[in-house]
Amino acid sequence: MVTAIRRIFKAGFVGFWRNAYVSLASIFVLTIALFVIGATMFINQLLETSLSTLQSKVDINVYFVPEAPQDEIDRITTAVEALPDVAEVTYTSREDALAEYRERNQNDAISLQALEELEDNPLGANIAIQAKETSQYESVARFLEEQKSLEQANIPVIDVINYEKNKDSIDTLTNIINATKSASFIVMIILLVAAVLITFNTIRLAIYTSREEIAIMRLVGAGNMFIRGPFMLQGIMYGFVAGILSLLLFYPLLVWLGPRTEAFFELNLFTYYMANFGEIFGILVGIGVVLGLLSSTFAVARYLRT
């Protein structure tokens, strides 16, 4: 058994070298396939990052009336925070709101003067709410409307919920995000299927050149595993080498592309590549090895049937 495995390994390695052209062609095609798969991964990452950046810019604001009792404001804030769909709630007190207003209008003398005319701070406290998904703003808004309707008429708390105002842009953004996600998913699947088919065909052709050899091995009385083993090993080697090559190809490309993607998408792909190198290595080399192994196993099986 050990001898047989050793012989299969030796035959696999020797076959890899002696069929150098066939090996090179297979590795070349497999490298391109893995490069395409890697590229879709990076593009997906860019999309995801830019979408979440966009998403974080969307929020619902609740403006409280200036006279709203503080304990009611705290109660609503806590309740909103406890909602499962809510990612973050930012509370701005009346004083902070006023300070912000002054800051924003520091070059607008009329506005500041109008403010001075008033005895009291006209601004109420407010909270900014970010949901985990844009599609969840609807339910958050519904909850807030409910709170508002439960108020006693003589003690108003919530002044304005600006969801309705933001609703259109939130809906549009939700649609864009969903469409982009499913489009990139479909493109990824198509590319993946194409890469798998091309690899499979190349290795099938590589083994087709060996069909005579396989027939001879059978005539000499070699068992199926003894014939198949070296080809399977070669498939694994093609995948491994191609995985490494595609990783090497990405390096200079991402060094060049990194600063550019950072400027546009707020994600430096090169930093991402280096930070997640282990994972990317595992995925690309793993896919390569599995693809090579499966392709060669299927391709040889054809010539082992009687």
Point out which residues bind another protein (CB under 8 A): 3-4, 7, 14-15, 18-19, 212-213, 215-224, 226, 306
Give least dist CB 15 to another protein, A.
Answer: 6
Q: Which is nearer to another protein, 182 or 209 (CB)?
A: 209
The CA–CA distances, whole Å, from 6 to 3, 242, 290, 294, 296 equal 5, 24, 21, 21, 19
* Nearest distance, CB of residue 21 and another protein, angstroms: 12
Residue 193 in 3-state DSSP? helix
For the bound state, the minimum distance from the C-beta of residue 220 to another protein, rounded and expressed in Å, comes to 5
Tokens of 97: 């709101």
Nearer CB in complex with another protein: 219/263: 219
d(CA 149, CA 158): 10
Q: How many residues does the chain have?
A: 306
Give the span between the Cα atoms of 8 and 144, in whole angstroms.
70
Give the CA distances from residue 47 to residues 2, 54, 73, 303, in Å, rounded to whole numbers and listed in that order: 50, 10, 37, 45
Please tell me the distance from the alpha carbon of residue 106 to that of residue 46, in angstroms, as a whole number.
38
Smallest gap from Cβ 193 to another protein, in A, equals 33
Q: Which is nearer to another protein, 208 or 226 (CB)?
A: 226
Work out how close the CB of 7 gets to another protein at its nearest, in angstroms, rounded to a whole number.
5
Helices 137-149 and 163-208 pack at an angle, to 10 degrees, of 160
Of 11 and 98, CB closest to another protein = 11
Please give the Cα distance from 237 to 210 (Å, whole number). 17
The sign of the dihedral angle between the CA atoms of 95, 96, 99, 100 is: negative
> Smallest gap, in angstroms, from Cβ of residue 212 to another protein?
8
Nearer to another protein, 181 or 218 (CB): 218
Nearer to another protein, 169 or 224 (CB): 224
* Cα gap 144→66, rounded to integer Å: 18
Q: Would you say 204 or 218 has its CB closer to another protein?
A: 218
CB of 302 to another protein, least distance (A): 15
DSSP 8-class letter at 132: S
